[in-house]
Amino acid sequence: MMTYTITTPLYYVNDKPHLGSLYTTMASDALARFQRLEGKQVMFVTGVDEHGQKIQRTAEGNNISPKHHCDQITRSYQNLWSRWGISNDRFIRTTSHRHQLLVEAFFHRVETSGDVYLGRQQGWYCVGCEEYKDEPPQAQSPCCPIHQKPLEWRDEENLFFKLSRFQSKIEDLISQPDFIWPVMRRNEIQNFVAQGLRDFSISRVDVDWGLPVPGYPKHTFYVWFDALVGYLSALLDDGGQVRIERLEECGWPASVHLIGKDILRFHAVYWPAMLISAGLPLPKQVFGHGFLTREGQKMGKSLGNVLDPEKLLEICGADAVRWYLLRDIQFGHDGDFQQKRFMDLVNNDLANTIGNLLNRTSTMARKWFEGSVPTHRDEIDYAHPLVTTAETTITIVRQSMPSMAFHDAAEAILKLAIAANVYLNETAPWSRMKTPGNEAEVADDLYSVLEACRLVGLLINPLVPSLSERLLNQLGLSIDGNDWSKGLAWGQLQSGALLPPSQPVMQRLELSSSL
Ligand code: MSP
């Protein structure tokens, strides 16, 4: 079976994890979980990017060695992902020995292809971006628009990669409809490429905290050259030999690199050219998601408005944050974190529309049908409004999730829960049960609503896995005990099955102060 490989960026360890890293990671996690449920063999890769001047300087500023600094921050990433329940299969550190071996082997291939030469690099550099900027040499005190910090003038001997040689290959690649997603980001990259690709430097002579370039004393690899190869090292991190030839058995090429829009150029232009030079297959897709702001403002340390993933988890729980970010923001577009809206959506969608629906329906079933799922009378009525809504929902979820339209999937699931609420209110079993002789009809109706809840529980699993487990548990089921595809057919809930004691599935969010 073909492996479905999905990667997050390898996060810089200059600082502890932030909302941006959480956002990409939780979206990748949702996709990975969905593909596993669909029966795919998934390889979900994340990790950290530990070299470069930015990290070297941060460690110096803290008076600790870069290695010690990286160990600390890397540990905080690993702990954080495990506490958030991220289901990654691999976690790569670019300071690992296996990674170094692979970078050397990769470089050897690129050099053998004749794509490396020594040259002189002059230009304005942003250490925050770890990137040369396009400012002209004569610019007076230029500043990085992203980091708001002065650019540094560099004039040094570097190794260069012959990117210019790949102009037409990259043009062909980026014009393929599925390569850059969402489509609106393709233009920006096409414009950049249309200006003509220029060779870029892949080594530094003034940065000690990097991997040494074999055959070039004093040179260390440019952090991006090193980090991108990390996607490959992660796949070979299975205890076997570090041999490039093994990559295709280990999950390469990636099905999708999920990244933020700011690093699209590296992934959609530089990286494919490096891979072609090394004789390796290209990733099938690069998805550049949007940026998050908070209450309309850019998040930053200086503004003191950074949302800390640790704190978010502690106060709000993973389900609430995942639901809000994946349901409210069209994945690919920029989005704004608004605390009031966050609370409203979590309370309305998860606690009321979904949680209360299950709670009140199962309470009636327990009370009137001996604590179990009521027995329905008829064969499945395919014209039943909940059956038709469920069918539409399943189709939308299965189409939206693989194309990362998480908001569409979430909305469709919510519509099913709303339809079930409407159905319950219209059939009003609580009043019909008062008249003797209505039990069989009421049983049918409660069964249908509980069945809709079961489907909501299954479908919502990739988006909010813990809530999904709690929903299914309330019906005496679990995600593991179910074959997802089979389970998505209407009527799988067993009549007569005992319902466990009632427990609320979703706490309301009551935030009295700013997060
Ligand atoms: N180390 C590189 C990636 C190397 S991949 C081989 C890097 N790391 S990063 O930690 O700076 O950024 C990681 C990701 O976080 C990027 O995809 C970036 O887009 C994302 N975000 C950073 N701030 C963000 C927001 N405010 N909103 C959403 N995502 C943002 O770049």
Q: What is the pLDDT of residues 44-53, one digit of tens each?
A: 999 999 999 9
Predicted confidence band of residue 70 (pLDDT cuts 50, 70, 90): very high
9 lines ligand 1 (CB under 6 A): yes
DSSP secondary structure, 50-79, as one string = --SHHHHHHHHHTTS-HHHHHHHHHHHHHH
Q: What is the pLDDT of residue 204?
A: 95
21 lines ligand 1 (CB under 6 A): yes
Count Cα atoms within 13 angstroms, Cβ side, for 281: 15
Mean pLDDT within 413-430? 98
What's the CA-to-centroid distance between 198 and ligand 1, angstroms?
Answer: 24
Instruction: Judge if 349 and 238 occupy the same domain.
Output: no
- For 78, the token pair is 């690993």
Can you give the CATH number for the domain in which 279 is found? Answer: 3.40.50.620
259 lines ligand 1 (CB under 6 A): yes
Dihedrals phi, psi of 449, to nearest 5 degrees: -70, -40
Instruction: Judge if 286 and 351 occupy the same domain.
Output: no
pLDDT reading at 109 higher than 80: yes
Mutate to test the pocket of ligand 1, among 7, 12, 54 (most ligand atoms within 8 A of CB): 12
Instruction: Judge if 17 and 139 occupy the same domain.
Output: yes
What's the CA-to-centroid distance between 11 and ligand 1, angstroms?
Answer: 7
Instruction: Judge if 362 and 473 occupy the same domain.
Output: yes
pLDDT reading at 200 higher than 90: yes
258 lines ligand 1 (CB under 6 A): no
Any domain includes 311 = no
Instruction: Judge if 342 and 223 occupy the same domain.
Output: no
Mutate to test the pocket of ligand 1, among 291, 303, 305 (most ligand atoms within 8 A of CB): 291
Mutate to test the pocket of ligand 1, among 50, 74, 129, 263 (most ligand atoms within 8 A of CB): 263
263 lines ligand 1 (CB under 6 A): yes
What's the CA-to-centroid distance between 327 and ligand 1, angstroms?
Answer: 21
292 lines ligand 1 (CB under 6 A): yes
What's the CA-to-centroid distance between 504 and ligand 1, angstroms?
Answer: 36
Q: What is the pLDDT of residue 235?
A: 98
Q: How far is 356 from 223, CA to CA, in rounded Å? A: 51
Instruction: Judge if 129 and 19 occupy the same domain.
Output: yes
Amino acid letter for position 26: M
Average pLDDT, the chain: 95
Instruction: Judge if 409 and 269 occupy the same domain.
Output: no
Q: What is the pLDDT of residue 166?
A: 98
Instruction: Judge if 378 and 231 occupy the same domain.
Output: no
Q: What is the pLDDT of residue 304?
A: 84
> Residue whose CA is closest, atom 13 of ligand 1?
11
Instruction: Judge if 195 and 259 occupy the same domain.
Output: yes
Q: Considering its fold, how many domains does the chain have in total?
A: 2
Predicted confidence band of residue 134 (pLDDT cuts 50, 70, 90): confident
- For 193, the token pair is 């490429």
Any domain includes 271 = yes
pLDDT reading at 145 higher than 90: no
pLDDT reading at 379 higher than 90: no
23 lines ligand 1 (CB under 6 A): yes
pLDDT cut 90: percent of the chain above it: 90
Mean pLDDT within 331-348? 97
Instruction: Judge if 286 and 147 occupy the same domain.
Output: yes
Any domain includes 509 = no
- For 281-307, write each residue's pLDDT tens digit: 999 999 999 999 999 999 887 788 889
Any domain includes 315 = no
- For 177, the token pair is 């409809």
| Contact criterion met (CB below 8 Å) for 288 and 282 | no
Last residue of a domain, one of 250, 273, 290: 290
11 lines ligand 1 (CB under 6 A): yes
Any domain includes 325 = no
- For 144, the token pair is 């990085």
Task: Give the residue numbers spanning the domain of 343.
Answer: 338-487
- For 486, the token pair is 């089979």
| Contact criterion met (CB below 8 Å) for 35 and 3 | no
Mean pLDDT within 24-53? 97
Any domain includes 306 = no
Mean pLDDT within 450-455? 98
Q: What is the pLDDT of residue 329?
A: 97
Q: Residue 316 annotated as binding?
A: no
What's the CA-to-centroid distance between 239 and ligand 1, angstroms?
Answer: 29
Predicted confidence band of residue 475 (pLDDT cuts 50, 70, 90): very high
pTM of the model as a whole: 0.96
Instruction: Judge if 163 and 19 occupy the same domain.
Output: yes
Nearest Cα neighbor of 48 from 30, 66, 63, 27 is: 66
What's the CA-to-centroid distance between 170 and ligand 1, angstroms?
Answer: 23
pLDDT reading at 72 higher than 80: yes
What's the CA-to-centroid distance between 63 and ligand 1, angstroms?
Answer: 25
> Residue whose CA is closest, atom 25 of ligand 1?
20
Instruction: Judge if 117 and 231 occupy the same domain.
Output: yes
Report CA 193 to chain centroid distance, whole Å: 27
Q: How far is 407 from 413, CA to CA, in rounded Å? A: 10
Atom of ligand 1 nearest to the CA of 290: 28
12 lines ligand 1 (CB under 6 A): yes
Beta strands in 249-391 (DSSP E): 256-260, 286-289, 292-294, 335-337
Can you give the CATH number for the domain in which 433 is found? Answer: 1.10.730.10
